[in-house]
Chains A and B, each alone.
Chain A
Amino acid sequence: MTGMHHMLVHFPLGFWALATLMILVGALLPGRMADLSRAALLPVLILSLLGALAAIVTGFLIWPLAANTHSPLARNHILMALWSLGIFTMLTVLVWRAGAAAFDGARRWVLVLLALIGGLFFAAAGTLGGHLVGAPTLFSEVLGLMGWEVYTTFYSPLWVIAVMVLIGAACAALGLKGRRAAG
């Protein structure tokens, strides 16, 4: 299953990198290239999610679950992969929902911000995957300069976990309120 995972991860990584580029071009540049990027973004995002699901499923089959949850590197790889999936799922939903208006007004900055966060996460997921097969890259050192030593598990203090959940709950409440207000 290791080889299958190595093959399949190219799809989400490739599509996510492409989607990030398309969002940056669509949001920041004028002209036909930007139009094409905006128009083709949704299919790319959908394909990225399909590829990610296949990659994640095969990834979980490489080692026993106990091995995944005992290894700091594997834990970090899983967290970054699932957070990448989360971010690009957000992008997919938002772009699908807004259609051709996804890049109108301040929305474009939402997409840019999410794409940059997603770019950081999938780059981290990819480099951690390289570590797991014995091929580390200099990007790990970049993460180290950003305060994260990748040989230690990424976990937060309880109060931060509570704040994250509260932010999510508060935002969800605002969203539901806004939906009701919009009728």
Chain B
Amino acid sequence: MARHDKAVTPWLVLGLPAALGLAWVTQGSGVVGNDLERNIFIPDELTMPLQVQAAYNDEQIFFRYRWPAEQAHVYHDMLRYEDGEWIRHGNSRPGPDPDGTYEDRVAMLVDDGGVPEFGRYGGYITAGDRMRFFSDSASPAEVAEHPRLGQEMGKSDVRKYLPATRRDQNDWRSVEDAEVLAAQREAGYFLDLWHWRAGRSNPIGASDDQWVGEYRNSDAGTGPYTTNWDKDNDRPQWMLDPDQTGQRALRWEEVVSGEVDFDGTYYLSEDNRTAFDPDHDWQNGDVIPRRLLRTPEGSRGSIAVHGQARWEDGYWDVTLVRDLDTGSPLDDKILEDQGVYDVGIAVYRNATGSRWHYVSHPYSLGLGREADFQASAFTGSAPEWDDAWFDMTLFYPGQVDWPLLISQAHAGAEDIAQGTPVRARHSEEQLARYGVEMEFNDAITARWWMTLVAGLIAMLGVTLALLPGFRSTRQGDRS
């Protein structure tokens, strides 16, 4: 029996590859998953491609964006009639809208060097403490109580803001005084935000124009949409004009079909609306957009769609145009020939909004100067787009904010302090995977420790099992 045990003992070593092999083939599972209660939804694809071109003449600059999308999502914020009530579909939520009623978007942050960190770290610098739709987001009540954001500006969430607009990077509440914020803006410490929306601006050939300072603010003037809701009567204020469109409303089946006729009626605007008729025999499934599109005015109307931005054969192709000098230096970054600027681009697709976007690294754009990519100079009114596309990889950023990146919990905090750009250290794929892991950091860290210790326990146990079979059997050896 003892001889049999002695023969078997060495093979107990197989327990170790069994344990470690099992750990290897199952690693990375058991933690990551959607948890909408905690504002967690992980997209199936963590990266996506984006192609960009830019061109300018004496007066204007054009940006052309092209990206793949399974379908066009042009419906956003719709009111569906059901048994006497108008039910809202398509407001912001974690992950994709289940009905697909959330618009596709492209957003571009632009800087002229006034925000130096932006050129190194891109949109990460705008992700501050307890942002909306983060798992630890500030509550609407907290924000509403804030003297500046809540009581003065009427906000109920924390959106993009720049680091120097806060005295304490770990506290969204620590907003600088109004005089300091105004001085920062005067000094160019803000980011210009071009914001094209497939539902709330594109149908009328418009784009929104915003800026990021202590909040994601809108430029002066009026935007490309307003709300179509009669609060007093709980019903829309306007409906489609049947004389112009042949219909009073859209149908829910069309809205959720996943298809869109860009030449048909799929939106409500100043040009095709009429006053809501409460006496009409509304049918279940009738749909009226909750947003009324209108021509933007003032600085907020500086950016327009050039030509027609359409989705076709699996791709969006969007071109935006703006004056190089809009005349609004407190809202926009004024662009000039021989200038070099920083841009960071984000795309929303698959009916997602809020932080469920894909973002780019920051890139420099040269107008006649060496940079990551060039805006081509041309004469005439429209570019020919002869130059090659500039290819970017966009990534899902997860829940990584600026306070974390400059804290002791980030191994690269010292690099940031020294000004090392993010592109020098992290690929898009890496950042996407890190972003997802940060959404589950506590659970993953605990599971990692357990795995590490369990592996060592397996090694210790197998060693103890092997020791009887590893006695010295030769004369002169230790016993």
Contact (Cβ within 8 A) B433 A149: yes
Q: How far is the CA of A49 from the CA of B70 in the complex (A)?
A: 55
User: How many pairs, one residue from A and one from B, have CB atoms within 8 Å of each other in the complex?
Assistant: 236
Interface size on A, as a range, is 35 or more
Contact (Cβ within 8 A) A167 B463: no
> Which chain A positions have C-beta within 8 A of B410?
67, 70-71
Residues of chain B in range 440-479 having any CB-CB distance to chain A below 8 Å: 441, 444-445, 447-448, 450-452, 454-474, 476-478
Q: Report the stretch among A6-14, A28-36, A52-60, A78-86 that lies at the interface.
A: A78-86
Q: How far is the CA of A52 from the CA of B191 in the complex (A)?
A: 49
Residues of chain A in range 109-164 having any CB-CB distance to chain B below 8 Å: 109-110, 113-114, 117, 132, 134, 146-149, 151-158, 160-161, 163-164
Q: Report the stretch among B28-36, B210-218, B224-232, B373-381 that lies at the interface.
A: B28-36
Q: How far is the CA of A102 from the CA of B19 in the complex (A)?
A: 24
For the complex formed, measure the closest distance between the CB of A150 and the CB atoms of chain B, giving whole angstroms. 9
Contact (Cβ within 8 A) A83 B455: yes
Q: How far is the CA of A165 from the CA of B456 in the complex (A)?
A: 9
Contact (Cβ within 8 A) B452 A66: no
For the residues of B in contact with A, the DSSP-based class is helix
The reply to whether the CB of B392 lies closer than 8 angstroms to some CB of chain A is no
The reply to whether the CB of A98 lies closer than 8 angstroms to some CB of chain B is yes
Contact (Cβ within 8 A) B461 A171: yes
Q: Which of B404, B451, B463 contacts A90 (CB 8 A)?
A: B463
**Known: A110-B466, A151-B433, A182-B468. Contact between A164 and B23, CB under 8 A?**
yes
Contact (Cβ within 8 A) A117 B452: no
Contact (Cβ within 8 A) A167 B468: no
> Which chain B positions have C-beta within 8 A of A161?
447, 450-451, 454
The reply to whether the CB of B275 lies closer than 8 angstroms to some CB of chain A is no
Contact (Cβ within 8 A) B473 A101: yes
Cβ contacts B403-424/A at 8 Å (1 or 0 each): 0100111110100000000001
For the complex formed, measure the closest distance between the CB of B458 and the CB atoms of chain A, giving whole angstroms. 4
Q: How far is the CA of A176 from the CA of B15 in the complex (A)?
A: 16
Contact (Cβ within 8 A) B472 A179: no
> Which chain B positions have C-beta within 8 A of A86?
455-456, 459-460
A91 (CB) vs chain B CBs: closest residue: B463
The reply to whether the CB of B20 lies closer than 8 angstroms to some CB of chain A is yes
**Known: A163-B19, A171-B12, A174-B465. Contact between A148 and B24, CB under 8 A?**
yes
The reply to whether the CB of A3 lies closer than 8 angstroms to some CB of chain B is no
- Interface on A for B, CB 8 Å cutoff? 63-64, 66-72, 74-75, 78-79, 82-83, 86-87, 89-90, 93-94, 97-102, 104-107, 109-110, 113-114, 117, 132, 134, 146-149, 151-158, 160-161, 163-165, 167-172, 174-176, 178-179, 181-182
The 5 closest A-B pairs by CB, nearest first: A168-B461, A157-B30, A175-B464, A99-B477, A178-B468
Name 13 extra pairs, CB < 8 A, besides A90-B459, A168-B462. A67-B410, A70-B409, A87-B459, A89-B459, A99-B474, A100-B474, A157-B26, A160-B23, A165-B458, A167-B458, A171-B464, A175-B461, A175-B463
